[in-house]
Amino acid sequence: MAAVGTVPARENAGKGAISIRNVTKIYDPEGVNVLAVDDCSLEIAAGEVCMIVGPSGCGKTTLLSAIAGFHSITFGEIYLDGELLCGPGKPLADQGADRVVVFQNGALFPWMSLADNVAYGPTVQGRLNKTQAREKALDMLAEAGLADVGDKFPGEVSSGMARRAEIVRALINDPKVLLLDEPYRAMDALTKSIMHEALLEMYDRTKVTIFFITHDLEESIFLGDRVVVMTTRPCRTKKIVEVNIPRPRDYHILSSEEFRLLVDEANEAVHEEAIKAFEAGERELA
Amino acid sequence: MSEPVAGQPQPGVTPVQGPPAGLGMFLYKARKNLTGSTPYLMMGGIGLWLLTWWLLCEVFSVPRFEKMPGPVAVLSELFSVEPFLGISVFTQEYYQHIYLSCRRIFFAFMIATGLGVPLGLFMGWSKTVRDYAFPILETVRPIPILAWVPLAILMFAGFEAPVIYLATLASFFVTTLNTLLGVDSIDESYFRAAGCLGAKRRHIFWHVVVPGSMPFIFTGLQISIGVAWFSLVAAEMVSGDGGLGYLIVDAYMNNVTVPMVIGMITLGFVGWITSALVRLVGNRLMQWRVRALALEGR
Amino acid sequence: MATTAPNVYNQRTVVRRTRWQKFLANKKLWRGVTAILCTLVLWEIGSRWDEWFGFRLPFIGFIPPPSDVMVAWLEVLPKIGYWQSWYLSFKRVLAGFLSAMLLGIPFGLALAVNRYFRDIFFPPFEVLRPIPPLAWVPASLIFWPTNEMSIAFVTFLGAFFTIVINVLGGARSIDISYLRAAQSMGATQLDMFWRIVLPGTLPSIFTGAAVGMGITWEVVLAAEMISGGGTQAGGGLGFFIWNSYMGGSLEQIVVGMISIGIAGYLSSSAIRYLGTVCMPWRRLF
Amino acid sequence: MTVTPASSGEHEAQGPASGKGKLELRNVNKGYGEAWERQEVLTHMSLTIAPGDLTAVIGPSGCGKSTLVDLIAGFERPDSGEILLNGEPVTGPAHDRMVVFQETALLPWLTAYQNVAFGPKLRGDLKGEALDAEINRLLDKVGLAEFKDKYPIQLSGGMQRRAELARAMINNPLIMIMDEPFRGLDAMTRELMQEFFLKLFEETRRTNLFVTSELDEAIFLADRLIVLSNRPTSVRETIEIGLPRPREFHMLSSPEAFKYKRQAMEVLHEEAMRGFTRSGDQQAFLDAYRKGDEAQSDG
């Protein structure tokens, strides 16, 4: 579905294919020498919701950081729409507004109101002037059901609202890819399910490519087109589950038969990795 | 799915009766505060303290305490139109001393803030600046400010400059280190988020580093103004000419105790006012934090 | 494109550095050393400007050059009087500091655990707190029979307020679930005080002690300068500085300043060390 | 529900009834604040927890689950109504009801061993070698034998929860109250902790009240699931979970489990939305999420 209402059609619609080829990341090669990602390859189509599931500390976030340009990679290369992001000779990708990250604990600037936060991207890139950006920000917030709280500071609204505003802040830049790093981790299950529906609704509107990191299997099946189960450190792809549940989805799906079958299919692999990660964790501390 | 937004009345929920407005709210709060024992105990505490002071110094004239002026002596002197010892709220001299001290504090505080905050920000922002500047700062810092007194007198001519220099030095260290701490305290994800949104390095400085370290800067400034008063008093006592510290030490030299205590009380009061002012400015500049804290405090 | 062999991990040819090589490559360290050396050199040049170029630079020109300071220091090092100053100052700091701890910790804890006690005693405490400790010097000189006692009293005041505020804040911020857990395991009020409130406040006590120690040194120094100067009761590093000032020995002033810096640093390190010994659970990580 | 007590070699110092408390809440009401600030948290709360059962309580966040725990544990008193444990009214905190706290309340200045020893040492009801043996047995049982001399911050999140379980179990409570004990753990560790806890429970069948906001967790663990309504809170629905014991994690994706899930989800979603969009009162809204924010500090 194309964009509705006040938002003009997305310029970057249909873009955002990520190609991760043989990526390896070694932290601190001269010292502790930790192999975080080992020869990982993954193709993500434009407009796909790709869910990455793996135990915490397995190296998923490293992968996201490499795409976003926070961390360099040691070997391999990553392409966005056929253009090299990082690879040999250019280990660190440039940071840019075509790949916007939503962070685990939220990174709305607490010193700016929600509207200013959302308007920040276009203003700082010089695409829009302050008033225009603010207007657009308020429009987009209203669309996400946050019309009344545009002038509030992030500390004044609930974490659920803040998280939605953060996604709006990402979307206003018309990114090719939205990178989400366990954004709902700290929320309780019921709030989470409401947040999921809000995210799905935004996705149905924009069809932006989503790279979503989580360790919650149900969340990933509910949201994703494809669930990639990762091994514990070093990070490799272990199993890929295609999710063919039609969109738009709502919470009824969570208790449907097809959902159950998918959970059943992926559960074994995830559980195995969880135990492995757990045992590794115990060993490390002993 | 579009959720109803907070602000629209929802069916099936009993409306919460709003808080009373204006005078009603004031009366409600006053009533609530006065029903507990706390306000009475607090007043009792102050009263008890004044009473002890009075009994010790003026009524029973306990040995050693008798040398000190009691609260009655101090207060009657402080509020007499024709003070016996020359200092009261009706004399110009009293305000002259306050003015002198405040002016020195003002200059010292401004210089220290003007130098310390930018230095701290740059140290936090650039690793190179920090690597060079931090060791020097840390080497000089353990030297107590008051050890600088003789050097300050030698380095600066006159009465005014050494005093201001000492107060400045004291608040400079506190301000710089707290600002640095403030920059360090900013979550890495804010830098990353700004980078993602297309901010350049200079944008990050102005939009992330500066506002993000504000809370620590103002904590630092509050401590810094306290430290400035601390060193100002010492400096005025040793080398000064006028000012509240001088008032105290001058009274001591002349063997009169009442102006001494008046000086102490005034110092406490003025010091408290200045730090309240800093807090006020901080709160004005950091509405985002004040509001969030107010909600949490509930 | 094919930059990766399938088993990259084992084929790495990265050379590991030895500890010594790492030390040499420590950029931060060398930058720090450079900065301090540069400062010293600039100081030397600034101070000797008068000698070399015939006119005095402002400010820095009045400070003796570091080389002269070094010479002066070597001169006083073997003298007993210098070490006696150290001893006297340390004694005063310790006396004031310990008495502040002994009174401040129980007072702070009492303020924290008992509401009525807090309501009564906190307001006068708050009224007295903003008065800078040095403003008490003349009053305490009059009040106490000896100089030594008045110095001790002012020193005590300096540390006392800081320690009380820290203890109070620390004790009030103890997680309520600790108290509840203890309660449901059958702890009495006394148990809760000794086993929860006290260890829970320990970190704040040490924070307060570290800050208090700094103030103590300042106060002792000032008190020595103001009161001890010129009398036989004097002594101490503050007096050493003041005496050098009166005697016009600029180098010795700087020697005194550096000595006091070292002394202050030593005492705060001692507190930090004590903190790690008393709180093993904070030493980790 | 009739249960045959699992016979394990457990130390049963408190007599035969140990660990098999029966808890009853009769028409309990609780609210906070005065006048216009007054917020009713619990209204007409009645429920019975059968001995040897694991009862899960689930409800939207901010609905008053924690208040319920505080009341049962005796940290707070109800405004009206009564709480009975084995027929005796609850008057204050005591070691017959042990709470396992959200996040954990292990004392950071004590090692795992000392933390477990804390309760018995306070009361002095278990001493010397008997105490030592019991602590070691429990630590071994929760898989922390190697870690007994470590301080809580040296342990991983999962280990801390297990240490806290051991600390509660050594007091031999009549009932264990778990207040969202696995909150803040990541989903995978959480799953493992659930399995672990389940094994522990099925071995001892100690009466357990398990408060949670995670539906899967509740269905996986519980004999009975109590769904709470949004604030003011009362029991909205009770679902008997008939999954066989001993349970395994496969059962969670069985058709039967999904049947329970469907049943509970309808009610829960409705209640959660009610909390989410509750009136225009921003404050109430925030209250509901305050806890979610606090959990973030777990990073």
At residue D37, the pLDDT reads 66
Is residue D292 pLDDT above 60, yes or no?
Answer: no
At residue B278, the pLDDT reads 93
Domain D41-96+206-299: state its class: alpha beta
In the sheet with A75-80, reading across from the earlier edge strand, the strands are: A34-44, A18-27, A75-80, A83-86
The answer to whether the bond into B150 is cis (omega within 30° of 0) is no
- Residue B181 placed within a domain: yes
In whole angstroms, what is the distance from residue B253 CA to residue C137 CA?
A: 12
Q: CB within 8 A of B51, min separation 6: which ones?
A: none
Helix (H) or strand (E) holding B195: helix B188-196
Number of domains in chain C: 2
Q: Are residues A88 and A194 in the same domain?
A: yes
- Complex ipTM more than 0.85, yes or no: no
User: How close is the nearest chain C Cα to the Cα of B4, in Å?
Assistant: 36
CATH number at residue C271: 1.10.3720.10
Q: Are residues C213 and C151 in the same domain?
A: yes
Query: In this complex, is the C-beta atom of D34 within 8 Å of any C-beta atom belonging to chain B?
Result: yes
At residue D103, the pLDDT reads 76
Q: Are residues B214 and B189 in the same domain?
A: yes
Q: Are residues B227 and B278 in the same domain?
A: yes
At residue B121, the pLDDT reads 94
Q: Are residues B47 and B136 in the same domain?
A: no
Q: Are residues B80 and B220 in the same domain?
A: yes
Is residue D121 pLDDT above 80, yes or no?
Answer: yes
At residue D276, the pLDDT reads 58
In whole angstroms, what is the distance from residue C188 CA to residue C186 CA?
A: 6
Q: CB within 8 A of C152, min separation 6: which ones?
A: C92, C95, C96, C99
Q: Are residues C146 and C162 in the same domain?
A: yes
Kindly list the distances between the CA atom of residue C91 and the CA atoms of A207, A234, C236, C257, C264, in Å, as whole numbers in the listed order: 74, 59, 9, 18, 13
In whole angstroms, what is the distance from residue A217 CA to residue D182 CA?
A: 17
At residue B280, the pLDDT reads 92
At residue D42, the pLDDT reads 86
Each of the 286 residues of chain A gets a pLDDT tens digit; together they read 333 444 445 777 778 889 998 888 888 766 667 788 888 889 999 889 999 998 877 788 888 999 998 988 888 889 988 888 888 888 888 888 888 999 888 889 999 999 999 999 999 988 889 999 999 999 989 888 888 888 888 888 888 888 889 999 998 988 889 999 988 887 777 778 788 888 888 888 888 999 999 988 888 999 999 999 988 878 888 888 888 888 888 888 888 888 888 888 888 888 888 888 888 877 777 6
**Residues B277-290 pLDDT 10s:** 999 999 988 888 88
- Residue C52 placed within a domain: yes
Determine the residue among D38, D278, D289, D293 to mutate to test chain B binding: the one whose Cβ has the most chain B Cβ atoms within 10 Å.
Answer: D278
Assign 3-class secondary structure to chain A.
CCCCCCCCCCCCCCCCCEEEEEEEEEECCCCCCEEEEEEEEEEECCCCEEEEECCCCCCHHHHHHHHHCCCCCCEEEEEECCEEEEECCECCCCCCCCEEEECCCCCCCCCCCHHHHHHHHHHHHCCCCHHHHHHHHHHHHHHCCCHHHCCCCHHHCCHHHHHHHHHHHHHCCCCCEEEEECCCCCCCHHHHHHHHHHHHHHHHHHCCEEEEEECCHHHHHHHCCEEEEECCCCECEEEEEECCCCCCCCHHHHHCHHHHHHHHHHHHHHHHHHHHHHHHHHHHHC
- Which of A127, A159, A174 terminates a domain? The answer is A174
The whole-number average pLDDT for the span D243-247 is 85
User: What does the block give as tokens for C139?
Assistant: 């009053």
Closest-CA residue to D242 (of D217, D265, D259, D226): D259
Furthest-apart CA atoms within chain A: distance in Å: 58
**Phi, psi at residue A35, to the nearest 5°?**
-90, 105
Q: Are residues B45 and B135 in the same domain?
A: no
Band (B296; pLDDT cuts 50, 70, 90) = low
Is residue D190 pLDDT above 50, yes or no?
Answer: yes
Lowest mean pLDDT of A251-260, B134-143, B262-271, name the range. A251-260
- Which of C63, C82, C99 terminates a domain? The answer is C63
Q: CB within 8 A of B217, min separation 6: which ones?
A: B117, B120, B175, B178, B179, B182
Q: Are residues A188 and A56 in the same domain?
A: yes
- Residue B5 placed within a domain: no
Contact A121 B198 (CB under 8 A): yes
Give the B-side interface with D, CB within 8 Å.
Answer: 3-10, 12-13, 15-20, 28, 32, 295-296, 298
Q: How far is CA B191 from the centre of its chain?
A: 31
At residue A286, the pLDDT reads 66
Is residue B107 pLDDT above 90, yes or no?
Answer: yes
The answer to whether the bond into A248 is cis (omega within 30° of 0) is yes
In DSSP terms, D175 is beta-bridged to: D97
- Residue C1 placed within a domain: no
User: What count of other Cβ atoms lies within 10 Å of the Cβ of residue D213?
Assistant: 26
At residue A5, the pLDDT reads 42
Q: Are residues C108 and C186 in the same domain?
A: yes
- Residue B192 placed within a domain: yes
Side chain identity at residue A166, one-letter code: E
Find the DSSP H helices in chain C. Answer: 8-11, 19-24, 27-53, 66-76, 80-113, 115-128, 137-143, 147-172, 176-184, 189-192, 198-223, 237-247, 250-278, 280-283
- Which of C47, C63, C79 terminates a domain? The answer is C63
- Residue A277 placed within a domain: yes
Find the domain containing C23 and state its range: 17-63
Find the domain containing B42 and state its range: 38-68
- Average pLDDT of chain B? 85
- Residue C4 placed within a domain: no
Q: Are residues B146 and B290 in the same domain?
A: yes
Q: Are residues C28 and C121 in the same domain?
A: no
Kindly list the distances between the CA atom of residue A223 and the CA atoms of A50, A210, A245, in Å, as whole numbers in the listed order: 9, 10, 10
Q: A188 to chain D: which residues are within 8 Å by CB?
A: 61, 180, 183, 213-214, 291-292, 295
Contact D99 C181 (CB under 8 A): yes
- Residue B58 placed within a domain: yes
Q: Are residues B64 and B77 in the same domain?
A: no
The whole-number average pLDDT for the span D253-281 is 74
CATH number at residue A218: 3.40.50.300
Band (D55; pLDDT cuts 50, 70, 90) = very high
- Residue C11 placed within a domain: no
Number of domains in chain A: 2
**Residues C196-228 pLDDT 10s:** 999 999 999 999 999 999 999 988 888 887 765
- Average pLDDT of chain C? 84
- Residue A23 placed within a domain: yes
Number of domains in chain B: 2
At residue B198, the pLDDT reads 86
Helix (H) or strand (E) holding B117: helix B92-125
Q: CB within 8 A of B115, min separation 6: which ones?
A: B172, B176
Band (C185; pLDDT cuts 50, 70, 90) = confident
Long-range interactions of A84-90: CB distance < 8 A, separation 24+: A87/C3, A88/C3
Is residue B244 pLDDT above 80, yes or no?
Answer: yes
- Average pLDDT of chain D? 79
- C185 → closest Cβ in D103, D122, D153: D122
In whole angstroms, what is the distance from residue D63 CA to residue D174 CA?
A: 26
What torsion do the CA atoms of D225, D230, D232, D238 make, to the nearest 10 degrees? -20
Q: D283 to chain B: which residues are within 8 Å by CB?
A: 295, 298
- Which of B22, B46, B68 terminates a domain? The answer is B68
Q: Are residues B47 and B170 in the same domain?
A: no
Q: A278 to chain D: which residues are within 8 Å by CB?
A: 158, 188-189, 192
Q: Which chains touch B (3 or more CB pairs under 8 A)?
A: A, C, D
Find the domain containing A206 and state its range: 18-98+179-285
Give the A-side interface with C, CB within 8 Å.
Answer: 21-22, 24, 26, 29-31, 35, 38-39, 74-77, 87-88, 234
At residue B19, the pLDDT reads 60
In whole angstroms, what is the distance from residue C44 CA to residue C63 CA?
A: 9
Q: Are residues B89 and B56 in the same domain?
A: no
The whole-number average pLDDT for the span D226-247 is 85
Q: Are residues A50 and A136 in the same domain?
A: no
Q: Are residues B88 and B191 in the same domain?
A: yes
Is residue C14 pLDDT above 90, yes or no?
Answer: no
Band (C39; pLDDT cuts 50, 70, 90) = very high
- C226 → closest Cβ in B226, B238, B260: B238
The whole-number average pLDDT for the span D181-200 is 86
Is residue C100 pLDDT above 90, yes or no?
Answer: yes
DSSP strand E in chain B: where?
A: none
Domain ranges of chain D: 41-96+206-299
Kindly list the distances between the CA atom of residue A152 and the CA atoms of A29, A133, A148, B47, D164, in Å, as whole numbers in the listed order: 45, 17, 9, 45, 40
**Residues D7-32 pLDDT 10s:** 344 444 444 446 678 898 888 888 87
Contact D298 A186 (CB under 8 A): yes
Kindly list the distances between the CA atom of residue B161 and the CA atoms of B154, B164, B235, C59, in Å, as whole numbers in the listed order: 11, 5, 11, 11
Q: A75 to chain C: which residues are within 8 Å by CB?
A: 3-4, 8
What is the DSSP code (8-state) at residue D169?
H
Q: Are residues C132 and C270 in the same domain?
A: yes
Q: Are residues B192 and B58 in the same domain?
A: no
In whole angstroms, what is the distance from residue D164 CA to residue D147 CA?
A: 13
Contact D279 B15 (CB under 8 A): yes
Q: Are residues A185 and A249 in the same domain?
A: yes
Q: Are residues A235 and A195 in the same domain?
A: yes
Lowest mean pLDDT of B7-11, B91-95, C197-201, D57-61, name the range. B7-11
Closest-CA residue to C262 (of D294, B140, A144): B140
Q: Are residues A184 and A265 in the same domain?
A: yes
Beta-carbon pairs below 8 A across chains A and B: 102
- Residue B26 placed within a domain: no
At residue D230, the pLDDT reads 79
Is residue B4 pLDDT above 80, yes or no?
Answer: no
- The distance in angstroms from the start CA to the end CA of chain B is 32
The whole-number average pLDDT for the span C107-131 is 91
Q: Are residues B118 and B62 in the same domain?
A: no
Query: In this complex, is the C-beta atom of C12 within 8 Å of any C-beta atom belonging to chain A?
Result: yes
Q: Are residues A26 and A159 in the same domain?
A: no
Q: Is B199 exposed, middle or buried (0-12, 13-18, 19+ CB in 10 A)?
A: buried
- Which of B46, B68, B90 terminates a domain? The answer is B68
CA angle B76, B82, B84 (to 5 degrees): 70
The whole-number average pLDDT for the span B207-214 is 93
Contact C180 D101 (CB under 8 A): yes
At residue C17, the pLDDT reads 65
Query: In this complex, is the C-beta atom of C283 within 8 Å of any C-beta atom belonging to chain D?
Result: no
Q: Are residues A192 and A218 in the same domain?
A: yes
In whole angstroms, what is the distance from residue A179 CA to residue A213 CA?
A: 8
At residue B240, the pLDDT reads 67
At residue B18, the pLDDT reads 56
- Which of A121, A146, A174 terminates a domain? The answer is A174
At residue D31, the pLDDT reads 82
Kindly list the distances between the CA atom of residue C236 and the CA atoms of A144, C139, C222, in Å, as whole numbers in the listed order: 70, 21, 11
Is residue D102 pLDDT above 90, yes or no?
Answer: no
Q: Is D87 left (phi over 0), alpha (psi -120 to 50) or beta?
A: left
At residue D67, the pLDDT reads 87
Q: Are residues A139 and A228 in the same domain?
A: no
CATH number at residue B124: 1.10.3720.10
Contact D36 B8 (CB under 8 A): no
Q: CB within 8 A of B269, min separation 6: which ones?
A: C130
